[in-house]
Structure formats: structure tokens, C-alpha cells
Amino acid sequence: MFAVWKALKKQIAWIIDAIESRKDCLRGEGRRTLSVRYSEGTAFAVRVFRLNGIQKWREMVSSLPKQSIRGLDASHFAIFDQTDLVCSIFNDTPTQLRSKGLSMRQTYGVEHGLPVFADAMRDRLTFPRSWVSGNYTDFAEWREQARDFVHERLLAPPPTAPFDADMIGEEDRGSYVARRVVFNLTSDSRVLAYLCIPKAALEPGAKTRAALLLHDHGARFDIGKEKVIRPFDEPEERIASSEQWVNECYGGRHIGDELAARGWITFATDMFFWSDRGVPRDDPKPYPHMNPIGCNLFFLGSSLAGLIAHEDLRALDFLASQPNVDTDRIAAVGLSVGGFRTWQISALDDRIAAGCAICWMTGVRHQMRPGVNLAGGMSFTMIHPGLHNGLDFPDVASIACPKPMLFYNGLRDGLFSIDSVEYAYDRMRRVWESQGIGNRLETRLWDVPHEFNAEMQDAAFEWLDGVVSPA
């Protein structure tokens, strides 16, 4: 018996060497082992390999030399969870192995914050509700159904209430004024917002274009709306924080002030959990609170991402209600999660005439890998339960078609790999081009990190001028 097992171990070692020679097919060797138990009680462990999908598995198996001991050849493999390759000593299915007294099992279920069967789950995401799936022929019908599908994933909206707005401060900034406005965002939340209005738009009967500004995440919670419109009548530390942040991420500009100087009405509120809507200001470590608030909102029948989306739509309601806003000429602009929010609201509401989404576009399958941005957790601002059973991120953004949309990403952005961005850009372009309006989709990769610098702003705002005219 010992001689037989020695020979089998030698054969398995040979198979492992052969597999390791095909590193192009591997995602890296897993530390997990599977226990293989022989019916007489002799046992040993075999190595498990993470593969680049089922096609790579087939490619690897077909490439192995047909060498054998006791008739064992390259066909003697078993698939575990559809994506891991197990060197098996029998040409049997796992069920057949169990019937012979052999067993395979997981020795742990979580690695790098992902289930060990994440590859299998990712491969099952085929996005059948997307326009590019080929399952639809009527674009208008698809758009309506896809939008309804996304709305359902947002979960229950908070009740609305009359805005009952109060202006509690105003500052003259030359060609425009900045206002501090308090209003009922929902019946649950009365919030402070910033509104910038060009002085020309204050004339009786004047109406002009407007921009809904959607601030970033940045793991910077002491400021929110203050990231996009310069604050006033605030504590010195908040004003200093705002200046530091725009110098780091926005080329030294508050984009709401920049657009107001160019003739736009601009408006910004806080996402829930940011600035005035976050933890108490004297709490030095706000981030740990995000996990419980994300979980508890689910218990309460909502979600953080859904609440943010519903509130963004309500902020749009408030902006559109301003007497000097031309409701046919409203744009959305945002960086990072603000970019996510930009293409999301552009998809959900046609009062948004155009959107500039900066540094947030990818495919969900690209993100569900060890060490990648969203796989690190704390992504409650972007999780809509069940969304990706039907649509990928670029599919949701494509609901915005046929309106003009701009997407910028950075070649040195560590949050989104270039291949994931290019995948998403290509997927969206197929949608706009299918409607004969490819020129309305602007995509560009800049040689920058995760930022919206002055040069990018100038290019984006010039593009906006072309698609949302001043008059």
C-alpha cells in the first residue's frame, strides 16, 4: 500500500509542476488545501490553484502532456467551486469520489475579504438586463425597464416634505453671490446647503443653466458640500479643511465657485454621513461608524447608497424649483463617488441634461478581486442590493443615453485599473453608438491620479458649454 501511495504522490507532484509551468493561466497559487481521504485511512493534501476563469482551466488541461502512471493522465482533475483546479487521483466527479470513500472540502471560506468561491460568483454575473446583452430590441422600452429595475434596488425612499427653505447667510463674490440655505431635504432631514447664483440671474424674469454638484467620498468626512463650494460663516478648522482638500483633489478650485463665475447656478448638499450630517465633530475617528450605519440602514428597510440616491433626486427637485433655474439646462458634476452619483442621477432622471462624471467608472467583476478598491469593504455608498444580477456599472450609466455624458479617469488612479475603465468605456460606447449618437459620449483617460485638476476642469467645462448652452 505504501508503494502505491508513494507512486501517486510522485504523479501528483509531476502534475503540479506541469501546472506551474503555465503561470499565464493562474491567478496565483492559493494557500488553501483540500483534504483527500482514501477509504483505508491513508490521507494526504493536494494543492489548489486559482485560475483565470473556466476557459483558462480548459486551456491548461488541454495543454498538459499526456504522460501517466497507472493510466493517470491530464484528464484526472476535478473542478472545485467551478474555478479552482484540484489535482485528483481519480477521473471522477466529486459525487463519485464520495461514493468511493474520498472527500473534498473547503478548509476555510474567506480570503482577502472575499468568499473563496468569488470567481464562480463573478462568472455568474452576466448582466442580462443590459442593452448590450442582446436581450432587447426596443431602446426606449429597455431604458424604461432598466431605470425601473435600478429604482427598485434603491429600496424605500424617505418621505418627502415641503422644502420650507430659509436663507441664513449670503456672501458677495463679485459676479455671483453664495448663499447658505436650510431646507427640508426629506421629512427626516432638514439640512444646510450652499447655493451660488450669478448676479445676472437675479434679475426679474431671468433664467439660466444650473449644475447639481455631487461631492466626493475621499474618506474625508468633516467636509462634504464644502469640497465643491467655498464655505463661509463656518469654524476656521472647517474652512481650512476645505481649502486643503481642494488643493489636493481639485487643482486649488472649488468647482461650484468656478462654474458660478462662468455663469452657472450651482448647488450642493451633504451626503448622509458627511459634514453636518456625520458623526459629532469631536469624534476623532468617524470611519468605524460607517460599517454599523451601513448595516443598520439595511435593518431599517433602507440602504446608505439608496438613501444617498433618493436624496440626490430630492436635491435636484429643490434646485429645479428655484425661480431662476432653467429646468431644461441642468447638469450634474462630480468627482469620485461624486462621479458615481453623477452618472447615477443622470440615468435616473431626465431633468439632468448632461453629466460630467470624473474618476469613477469600472466594471463590478473587475472590482471583486483581492486588493482592489471596492473589495476592501466600506463601500456602502455604492451598494444597491441585487443590482448586479441585472446590470453592471456602465450599464446603469448607459440608461442616461441619449443625453450627452462625459467620463474622465486617471491613468495613475490606484482605485480603478486601466483595463476596467476601458472595459466600461467600451460597453457604454456600444450603447451610444447603437443609437447613432456616439458623438454625445465623451471619454478620456488623463495622465493623472485620482483627482479633478484645473486642466481637466477647463476641458470638462468647455465641453459642458457645448452641450448645455449659456442661452
Q: What is the CATH number of the domain that holds 150?
A: 3.40.50.1820
**Cα–Cα distance list, 246 to 229, 263, 272, 457 (Å):** 10, 21, 20, 13
Regarding predicted confidence, which is higher, 414 or 83? 414
| Residue 135 and residue 40 share a domain | no
User: For the residues of 311-361, what is the DSSP string, one character each?
Assistant: HHHHHHHHHHTSTTEEEEEEEEEEETHHHHHHHHHHHH-TTEEEEEEES--
Q: Identity (one letter) of the amino acid at 424?
A: A
pLDDT computed for residue 243 by the predictor: 98
| Res. 94 pLDDT band, cuts 50 70 90 | low
Asked, for residue 76, whether it belongs to a domain, the answer is: yes
Look at the chain and count its residues: 471
Asked, for residue 307, whether it belongs to a domain, the answer is: yes
Asked, for residue 123, whether it belongs to a domain, the answer is: no
Q: Are 333 and 214 in contact (CB under 8 A)?
A: yes
pLDDT computed for residue 49 by the predictor: 42
Helix (H) or strand (E) holding 458: helix 454-467
Q: Are 176 and 261 in contact (CB under 8 A)?
A: yes
| The pLDDT of residue 223 is above 50 | yes
Domain housing 50: 2-114
Q: Are 201 and 248 in contact (CB under 8 A)?
A: no
Asked, for residue 374, whether it belongs to a domain, the answer is: yes
| Residue 441 and residue 372 share a domain | yes
Of 93, 16, 96, 94, nearest to 48 (Cα)?
16
Asked, for residue 121, whether it belongs to a domain, the answer is: no
Average pLDDT estimate for 74-102: 43
| The pLDDT of residue 147 is above 50 | yes
Which of 73-77, 222-226, 464-468 comes out lowest in average pLDDT?
Answer: 73-77
Asked, for residue 122, whether it belongs to a domain, the answer is: no
| Residue 343 and residue 375 share a domain | yes
User: How far, in Å, CA of 300 to CA of 292, rounded?
Assistant: 12
pLDDT computed for residue 376 by the predictor: 72
| The pLDDT of residue 433 is above 90 | yes
Regarding predicted confidence, which is higher, 6 or 287? 287
Average pLDDT estimate for 98-126: 75
| Res. 18 pLDDT band, cuts 50 70 90 | low
| The pLDDT of residue 12 is above 60 | no
| Residue 424 and residue 292 share a domain | yes
User: How far, in Å, CA of 241 to CA of 262, rounded?
Assistant: 25
Of 443, 458, 416, 442, nearest to 252 (Cα)?
458
CA dihedral (149, 154, 159, 165) in degrees, to 10, reads -110
| The pLDDT of residue 77 is above 70 | no
| Residue 281 and residue 148 share a domain | yes
| The pLDDT of residue 281 is above 80 | no
User: How many domains would you assign to the chain?
Assistant: 2
| Residue 417 and residue 320 share a domain | yes
pLDDT computed for residue 184 by the predictor: 98
Q: Note the pLDDT tens digit of each residue in 348-389.
A: 999 999 999 999 999 999 999 888 878 777 689 999 999 999
| Residue 42 and residue 156 share a domain | no
| The pLDDT of residue 148 is above 90 | yes
Regarding predicted confidence, which is higher, 442 or 23? 442
| Residue 418 and residue 313 share a domain | yes
| Residue 94 and residue 28 share a domain | yes
| The pLDDT of residue 254 is above 90 | yes
Of 431, 436, 373, 390, nearest to 407 (Cα)?
431
User: How far, in Å, CA of 339 to CA of 249, rounded?
Assistant: 13
Enumerate long-range contacts of 244-251, CB under 8 Å, 24 or more apart. 245/218, 245/220, 248/451, 249/216, 249/218, 249/335, 249/450, 249/451, 249/452, 250/335, 250/451, 250/452, 250/453, 250/457, 251/451, 251/452, 251/453, 251/454, 251/455, 251/456, 251/457
Residue at which a domain ends, from 64, 80, 114: 114
Pull the grid cell for residue 238.
472647517
pLDDT computed for residue 345 by the predictor: 98
The residues, ordered by sequence, that sit 6+ positions from 280 with a Cβ below 8 Å of its Cβ are none
pLDDT computed for residue 373 by the predictor: 77
Q: Identity (one letter) of the amino acid at 443?
A: T
CA dihedral (257, 262, 267, 270) in degrees, to 10, reads -40
| Residue 246 and residue 162 share a domain | yes
pLDDT computed for residue 54 by the predictor: 43
Q: Could you identify the residue written with the cell 467645462?
A: 461
Q: Note the pLDDT tens digit of each residue in 21-75.
A: 545 444 444 333 333 333 333 333 333 344 444 444 445 445 544 443 333 333 3
pLDDT computed for residue 137 by the predictor: 97
Proportion of the chain above pLDDT 70, given as a percent = 77
Residue at which a domain ends, from 58, 87, 114: 114
| Residue 294 and residue 440 share a domain | yes
67 phi and psi angles, rounded to 5 deg: -105, 155
pLDDT computed for residue 14 by the predictor: 52
Residue at which a domain ends, from 87, 114, 141: 114
Asked, for residue 306, whether it belongs to a domain, the answer is: yes
Q: How many CB atoms lie within 10 A of CB 350?
A: 12
| The pLDDT of residue 11 is above 70 | no
Regarding predicted confidence, which is higher, 325 or 22? 325
Of 331, 327, 316, nearest to 262 (Cα)?
331
Regarding predicted confidence, which is higher, 19 or 183? 183
Peptide bond into 94 cis (omega under 30): no
pLDDT computed for residue 208 by the predictor: 97
Which of 65-74, 240-249, 279-288 comes out lowest in average pLDDT?
Answer: 65-74
Asked, for residue 404, whether it belongs to a domain, the answer is: yes
| Residue 153 and residue 88 share a domain | no
Pull the grid cell for residue 183.
431646507
Mean pLDDT of the chain: 84
pLDDT computed for residue 10 by the predictor: 52
Average pLDDT estimate for 141-159: 98
Q: Are 387 and 154 in contact (CB under 8 A)?
A: no
